C-alpha cells in the first residue's frame, strides 16, 4: 500500500487482504478522517489524530474484540458512524475488554442486527458527564439491546421525550437531557423493542407527541403505552399535534386519578388543515374539565383557513391561539444542534411535520431520512 505519511483523509472500499495486520499508508499517524466500506480488515495503525470514523459492512470474522482493538488505536475519536458491522452473529468480547473514548461526542449505529447493540455498546466507555449524542437506526433489536440503550446516560438523565407517531406505533423517539441525547428511528420493528417505552423515566418534565399529517388518523391508545404518564409522573409540559388530540385525551382520561399528569403547560400544534372542528372542540373542553391547563393552540402562518376555523370555535374562548412562522421544536442540547460530516443537526429529526394548505410538507419527510443517514465522508 502507498506510503503517505501526511495523509489526513481516506476512503477505502471493497479492499481485501489476507494479512493479519494492515499498516494503512505506511503506518501513517496523520489520519483525521477515515471511511471504510466492505473491507475484510481494520487498520493496525496508531491513529492519535483520527477524529471521524465511518465504518460499514465489515467483512472479516465477526469478532467484537478485533473491532475494539481497532478503536483502541484511535483514542481521540469524536464522531463515529457504524453501519451493518457484522455479517453473522458476532463473537462477544469478554467483560473486561473495553475501549475508552474520552472525546466521543457523536455515535451513530445504523442497520445493526438483533443482538449487535448489546455486543458493542457496553464495551465503549466515555466519561458520564460529556455531551454525547447517540443515533440508532434499528432493523431489529432484542430485549438486551433495548436494555443497553436504556442504560445510556442521556436517557437516564433526560428531561424531554419526543415521540413521532405512525399507525403501528412510534416511528422515532428522542430523549433529551441538558447536555446529551438519544434518537432512535424505527424502534418497534421487533416486538421486543417495545421495552423502550416501558422504563420509568421519573425525571422527564415534558413530552412531545407528534404525528405525520399525511398518514391516516392514529388510535393513539393502541399505538403508545397507556401507562406513559405513570412512567413519567413529573411531566408538566405536554405538546401534541392536532391530529392526536383525541388519542391524548383518551390516554389522560383513562389514567388513574393518582397517575393523571399535572400539566401546567399544554400546547396543541396545528400541523394540518385536515382536522375535525367538533372533535377538537370536544377534546379541549374535556381536557379542561379534567383539570388540564387551558391549551395554547399554535398555528403556522401557512394555514390561514385553519386559524380562522380555530378562532370561530365558541367553546374555546379562553384558549390562547398564536400564529407562528414555524411550529416550535424541542429545545436541543448544544451537541444535538451541531452538524458534522457524519450527522445533521437534530432540528429536522425532531421537528413536527406540518402539511400546509398548498400541500407541501415541512420539514420534507424524505429529507428527514436523507439528513439522518450519511453513507460516506465528504
- Lowest mean per-residue pLDDT among 210-224, 300-314, 334-348: 210-224
Between residues 368 and 246, which one has the greater pLDDT?
Answer: 246
Residue 88: pLDDT over 50: yes
Contact 4, 25 (CB under 8 A): yes
Mean pLDDT, rounded, for 312-341: 83
Mean pLDDT, rounded, for 134-142: 78
**How many Cβ atoms are within 10 Å of 258's Cβ, its own excluded?**
7
What does the alpha-carbon distance between residue 293 and residue 289 come to, in Å, rounded to a whole number?
Answer: 9
Residue 350: pLDDT over 50: yes
pLDDT recorded at residue 87: 78
What does the alpha-carbon distance between residue 297 and residue 266 come to, in Å, rounded to a whole number?
Answer: 9
**How many helices (H) and strands (E) are present in the chain, helices listed first?**
12, 18
Cell numbers that stand for 332 in this block? 436541543
| pLDDT tens per residue across span 43-66 | 888 889 999 999 999 888 889 999
Stated length of the chain: 378
Q: What mean pLDDT is reported for the chain? A: 84
Contact 10, 25 (CB under 8 A): yes
Residue 103: pLDDT band by 50, 70, 90 thresholds?
very high
Residue 187: pLDDT over 70: no
Residue 186: pLDDT over 80: no
Residue 189: pLDDT over 60: no
Mean pLDDT, rounded, for 19-29: 72
Residue 255: pLDDT over 70: yes
Between residues 15 and 97, which one has the greater pLDDT?
Answer: 97
Contact partners, residue 305, CB within 8 Å, separation at least 6: 273, 357
pLDDT recorded at residue 196: 65
The percent of residues above 70 in pLDDT, for the chain, comes to: 85
pLDDT recorded at residue 188: 59
Residue 99: pLDDT over 90: yes
Contact 97, 123 (CB under 8 A): yes
Across 91-126, b (16+ Cβ under 10 Å) vs e yields ebbeeeeebebeebbbbbbbbbbbbbbbbbbebbeb
CA angle 289, 287, 268 (to 5 degrees): 145
pLDDT recorded at residue 378: 44
Q: Which of 210, 267, 266, 221 shows the shortest CA–CA distance to 243?
A: 210
Across 329-345, b (16+ Cβ under 10 Å) vs e yields bbebbebbebebebbbe
| pLDDT tens per residue across span 236-247 | 999 999 999 998
Would you say the pTM of this structure is higher than 0.85? Answer: yes
What does the alpha-carbon distance between residue 303 and residue 242 come to, in Å, rounded to a whole number?
Answer: 13
Residue 375: pLDDT band by 50, 70, 90 thresholds?
very low
Contact 271, 305 (CB under 8 A): no
**How many Cβ atoms are within 10 Å of 127's Cβ, its own excluded?**
12
Residue 358 DSSP label: T
Q: Which of 53, 70, 187, 64 shows the shortest CA–CA distance to 122?
A: 64
Residue 93: pLDDT band by 50, 70, 90 thresholds?
very high
Residue 376: pLDDT over 70: no
Cis peptide before 363 (omega within 30 of 0): yes
| pLDDT tens per residue across span 193-224 | 456 666 778 899 999 999 989 887 776 655 67
pLDDT recorded at residue 200: 77
pLDDT recorded at residue 374: 47
Amino acid at each position: 500500500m502507498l506510503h503517505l505519511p501526511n495523509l489526513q483523509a481516506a476512503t477505502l472500499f471493497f479492499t481485501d487482504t489476507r494479512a493479519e495486520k494492515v499498516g494503512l499508508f505506511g503506518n501513517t499517524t496523520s489520519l483525521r478522517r477515515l471511511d471504510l466500506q466492505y473491507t475484510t480488515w481494520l487498520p493496525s495503525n496508531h491513529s492519535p489524530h483520527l477524529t471521524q470514523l465511518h465504518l460499514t459492512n465489515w467483512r472479516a470474522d465477526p469478532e467484537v474484540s478485533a473491532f475494539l482493538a481497532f478503536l483502541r488505536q484511535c483514542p481521540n475519536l469524536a464522531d463515529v458512524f457504524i453501519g451493518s458491522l457484522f455479517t453473522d452473529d458476532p463473537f462477544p468480547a469478554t467483560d473486561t475488554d473495553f475501549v475508552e473514548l474520552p472525546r466521543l461526542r457523536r455515535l451513530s449505529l445504523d442497520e445493526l442486527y438483533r443482538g449487535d447493540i448489546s455486543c458493542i455498546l457496553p464495551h465503549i466507555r466515555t466519561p458520564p458527564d460529556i455531551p454525547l449524542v447517540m443515533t440508532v437506526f434499528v432493523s431489529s433489536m432484542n430485549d438486551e439491546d433495548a436494555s443497553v440503550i436504556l442504560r445510556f446516560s442521556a436517557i437516564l438523565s433526560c428531561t424531554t421525550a419526543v415521540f413521532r407517531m405512525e399507525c403501528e406505533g412510534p416511528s422515532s423517539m428522542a430523549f433529551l437531557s441538558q447536555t446529551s441525547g438519544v434518537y432512535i428511528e424505527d424502534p418497534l420493528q421487533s416486538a421486543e423493542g417495545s421495552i423502550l417505552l416501558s422504563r420509568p423515566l421519573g425525571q422527564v418534565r415534558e413530552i412531545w407527541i407528534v404525528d405525520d399529517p399525511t398518514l391516516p388518523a392514529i388510535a393513539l391508545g393502541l399505538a403508545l403505552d397507556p401507562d406513559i404518564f405513570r412512567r413519567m409522573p413529573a411531566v408538566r409540559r405536554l405538546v401534541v399535534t392536532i391530529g392526536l388530540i383525541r388519542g391524548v385525551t383518551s390516554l389522560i382520561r383513562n389514567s388513574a386519578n393518582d397517575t393523571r399528569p399535572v400539566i401546567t403547560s399544554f400546547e396543541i400544534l396545528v400541523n394540518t388543515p385536515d382536522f375535525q372542528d367538533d372533535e377538537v372542540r370536544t377534546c379541549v373542553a374535556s381536557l379542561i374539565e379534567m383539570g388540564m391547563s387551558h391549551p395554547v393552540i399554535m398555528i403556522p402562518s401557512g394555514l390561514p383557513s385553519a386559524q380562522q376555523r380555530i378562532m370561530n370555535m365558541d367553546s374555546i374562548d379562553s384558549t390562547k391561539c398564536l400564529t407562528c412562522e414555524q411550529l416550535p421544536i424541542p429545545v436541543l442540547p448544544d451537541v444535538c444542534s451541531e452538524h458534522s460530516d457524519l450527522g445533521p443537526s437534530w432540528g429536522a429529526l425532531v421537528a413536527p411535520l406540518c402539511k400546509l394548505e398548498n400541500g407541501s410538507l415541512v420539514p420534507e419527510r424524505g429529507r428527514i431520512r436523507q439528513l439522518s443517514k450519511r453513507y460516506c465522508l465528504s
